[in-house]
Every structure is written in C-alpha cells, then in structure tokens.
Structure 1
Amino acid sequence: MLTLYRSGDGPWHRMPAGRKTVLLLILVLAVSLLPPVWPAAVAASVLCVACYAVPGVGVRELGRQVWALRWLVLVAFGIPCFFLGVEAAAVGTVRIVAAVALAGLLSLTTPVAVLLDVVERALRPLRRVGVDAARTALLLVVALGTVPTLARLAREVRSAQHARGARGIRVFVVPFLVLALRHADDLGDALTARGVR
C-alpha cells in the first residue's frame, strides 16, 4: 500500500496521533464549513500554509500536495464555474484543496500503522451497533492512500502521452481509467489475500 508518510521530528510528527487526528479533523471541518466568499477562501489558504510552514513539513511539501491535486482542481473548478460563475467556483475550489491538503497532513506526519491503530480505537465503541472497527479503519486508511496513487497514475499517463506526442482529454481518460480500475482490482485481491472481505 502506498504511504505518504515522511519521517521527521517537527511539531506535527511529535504530536500524539490521537490528538493530531482530532485537531486536523476540526480544521478540515472548519475549512469545509466556511461561507463561499473570498475572505473565507483567503482564510482557508492562510490556515493551510500556516499548518505546513512548521518545521518538519514545509511549504514546499504543500506545493507538492497541491500539484498532485491539479486534476481535482480542474474538475472542482470547471463544473461549478459553468453553473455558478467564476467567483463561486474559485472560492469553492480553494476550500476543497485546503481541506484535502490539511487531511493529507495527517498521513504525511503519521505512520500508516499508527494511523490505523488510532482510527480503530476511535471506532471501537461502535462495535455495539455492528461496526467492525478493524475493517472500517483499514478502509479509511486505504482511502487516504488512494488520492496520491491516482495522482501518480495520472502523471504516468501524461508522461506516456507526451512521449508519444498525443494530446486531448479522451486520450488521457481511457488509459487513466484502465490503470485506476486495475489498481482497484489489485488492491481488492491484496485485501482478500489478507482475509479482508
């Protein structure tokens, strides 16, 4: 499974995983619930930069995260732009990117095994209503790794296109979907082999 974890000794790395998860969840919810106006987009951007600017992570890492989300940015901006106008689409896109980047900070500064343990402990009380905490935690951690995996696949398809001189969205979409579906099959096979059904 792909992991985003980057080792370090900054404040985010040293913070206990449970506390860090709750704090980043609150920040993501705060950014998501901001009103769709320019000052809110600026506030979300400033908050995101401030969270990444601490020692051990860095603003350059934020740039890499945003660059990996460029296709999400195109979709998140393009479709609402058509229906809501440029301003509303731009503000909404900034809020989405800030929320995803803040969520990504958790997997950047927390090893997958520790993150899996935190999520499993948080979900344990839900066993009374039939929730399998271990399986749900694994699903959430795998989902966190899916965005960077899809970003890597998109880069590979784009590189192959440029090498062949091919251009156009249709030339990109078909091989990207094939690779994404193949990855999903491989991931499903790997989970089944480990007894997850």
Structure 2
Amino acid sequence: MLTLYRPGTGWLHRMPAGPKTVMLLALTLGVFLLPPVWWSAGVAAAASVVAYAAAQLHDGALGMRDLGRQLFALRWILLVMLVSQLLFLGPEPAVANATRVTSGLLLAALLTLTTPTTALLEAVERGLGPLRYVRIDPQRIALLLTITLGTVPVLARIATDVRAAQKARGARANLRTFVVPFLVISLKHADELGEALASRGVR
C-alpha cells in the first residue's frame, strides 16, 4: 500500500493519531454535509486551505505547495467526476459536489501525510475496540479504513501514469480515452490488492 507519510515537526505531526483522526474525520464529515449550493463550494475549498496552512508542513509556502501537489495528482479523477455530474445534475450541484469531494480527499491525504500508517492503524483499532463485544473484529475495520485512505494516492498515481502514457504516444487529452485505461488499471490494482490480502489470511 502506498503511503504519503513525510516526517515533520509541526503540531499536526506531533498530535496523537487517535485525536487527529477524529478531528480530520469530523472536519471531512462537516464538509460532506454541506448542501449542494454555490457557497458550500467556497466553504469546502476554504476548509482545505486553512487545514493545510495550519498543519505546519514546512513546505516553504504555508502548506500550499503540498496542497497543490495533492490537487494536481487528483486532477483527472476530479475532472471525470465534475463532467459526469454536469451532464446529469447541472452546474451548481456539480461544482459544489466536486469541491466537497475534493476537500474530503485532500483532508484524507493530510492525515496520511502527517501520520505513519502503523500509528493510524493502531489508533483506529483502539477506537473500535468496544465492537469486539458485538462480535465485530476491529482489526478488519481498521485495516479497511487504512487501505481506503491509502487508495486515494494510488488512484491519483494511476491517473497521472495513464495521462503520461497518452502524452508519450502523442495522444490528445480526451476524457473517453482516459477513462477506459484508468478503470482497467484501477480494477487490476484492486484484484492484486485482494489477492495480497487473501495470501495473508485476510478474508
């Protein structure tokens, strides 16, 4: 599983994984619960900017350089989502929904940027510990959540690789020719991940 963790000394790096996860999940949930209107797009975008600026990532640009890297990596995924919603929902809900989802992905990336995967897995497992009393394995849920967070940068990398391959072949930017190879490679990655988990006894 790909991890984006980068060591640092900012307050978000020093914050325990458990409280940090709860805080960022609460912020993400708040963004997702915004109504699909124009002003919510501005609120969602502002939430991401403020979160990265406050994280003290020390990238030389108040976190905006790291924010830009994450956003650039997600550009093709977001384009597909925006275009599809424009076709079926119209401009206002499409822009609002795309911005809210983008903000959620950026906040998830911020969590993985500042938290080692092992620490994140342990924190989620501890938080879900009481579920053992109702015969639910917290280790499985923690693993699922961690894999989900790790899948975001993987999909972004796949999108970048697909577009780079198209450019190398002289192909013009085209949504239709991008979606098919992106989906094929993504599904292949999902199969390989499932086989790797199965080989380790995860069912």
Pairing partner for 1:191 from 182, 191, 197:
197
Query: Aligned pair in 2 of structure 1 residues 177, 47: CA closer, same or farther (>3 Å)?
Result: closer
1:18 aligns with 2:18: yes
Q: What are structure 2's unaligned runs of at least 5 residues? A: none
Maintained 8 Å contact 1:2/1:145: yes
Q: Which runs of 5+ in 1 are unaligned?
A: none
- Cα contact 2:8–2:114 (8 A) shared by 1: yes
* Matches for 1:1-197 after TM superposition, within 5 Å: 1-54=1-54, 55-56=56-57, 58-167=63-172, 168-197=174-203
- Give the deviation of 1:52 after TM superposition: 0.2
Instruction: Indicate how the Cα distance of structure 1 residues 196 and 119 shifts in structure 2: closer, same or farther if over 3 A, else same.
Output: same
TM-score by length of 2: 0.89
* Change in CA separation of 1:48 and 1:171 when aligned onto 2, cut-off 3 Å: closer
CA distance in 1, matches of 2:35, 2:184: 37
Q: Deviation of residue 170 (structure 1)?
A: 4.2
- CA gap 1:172/1:9 in 2 versus in 1, 3 angstroms: same
Between 54-63 and 4-13, the greater mean CA deviation after superposition: 54-63
Superposed CA RMSD in Å reads 1.7
Instruction: Give deviations 1:29-55, integer Å, cap 9, x for gaps.
Output: 111112223332222222210110132
Contact 2:105 2:152 survives alignment (8 Å): no
TM-score if structure 1 supplies the norm length?
0.91
Q: Distance in 2 between matches of 1:9 and 1:79?
A: 41
Moved more, 109-118 or 162-171: 162-171
Aligned residues: 197
Instruction: For 1:150 and 1:140, locate their aligned partners in 2 and report how far apart those are by CA, in whole Å.
Output: 16
Native 8 Å contact 1:3 1:145 kept in 2: yes
3-state secondary structure, aligned to 1:196: coil
Percent of pairs with identical residues: 57
Give the direction of change, closer, same or farther, for the CA distance of 1:84–1:192 in structure 2 (3 Å limit).
Answer: closer
Paired with 1:193 and 1:83, the residues of 2 have a C-alpha distance of 41
Give the C-alpha shift of residue 79 in structure 1.
Answer: 2.3
Distance 1:47 1:191 in 2: 35
Report the 3-state secondary structure (helix = DSSP H, G, I; strand = E; otherwise coil) of the residue aligned with 1:2. coil
AA in 2 matched with 1:29: L
One-letter code aligned to 1:31: V
CA contact (8 A) 1:11 1:56 kept: no
